[in-house]
Amino acid sequence: VGEINYSLFFKGFKVNYFGIEPDPKVFECLTLNKISGKETLFNLALSDEVATKKLYLDTEGANTSLTYFGSEKNEIIKVTTLDALDIPKKIKLFKLEAEGHEKEVLLGSLNTLKNIEYISTDFGPEKGMEEDHTMIDVNEILIENNFKLINFNNQRMIGLYKNKNV
């Protein structure tokens, strides 16, 4: 909903904010939370391909995902890769929270990863009906792409990675 944009703004940081949110109702909130009017917002999902897919909705529980988790409520949405968005310049921070779909997002971001300095990722137990975590897959991909885990929150299963080349 744009809370990182607000936090950075109120701390005095001027950023070029890109918000990507597939859930239509959450995207409305993200749009309402614009600060400068210069934010670039996308109402779509990131994955490892450009396509249309079923998005399983749980707006109130903040569990909306491309991976089926038991919700029969869904919408067909646009899906793209981060690489296909072709975001110019360096990216200071990429917040990756894809409700169990983190591996696929990273696989669609391999070209862009070299331009990202930090990645914060939620890899808790949210993937599918089995509620698998994505920590091992995410960690492997990021290490293979020159990232180093520099901080970890065990309570929320969140990792902060730094690109060793940036």
Tens-binned pLDDT, residue by residue, of the chain (166 aa): 777 888 888 888 877 888 899 999 989 988 888 887 778 899 999 999 999 999 999 887 788 889 888 889 999 999 999 999 978 788 989 999 888 889 999 999 999 999 999 999 988 777 766 877 789 999 999 999 999 999 999 888 899 999 999 8
Q: What are the helix (H) ranges across 22-159?
A: 24-32, 82-85, 102-107, 135-144
Q: What is the pLDDT of residue 72?
A: 92
**Element (DSSP H or E) covering residue 23:** none
Q: Which residues contact 139 (CB under 8 A, 6 or more apart)?
A: 123, 149, 159
Q: 154, exposed or middle or buried, with CB in 10 Å at 0-12, 13-18, 19+?
A: exposed
pLDDT at residue 44 in the model: 94
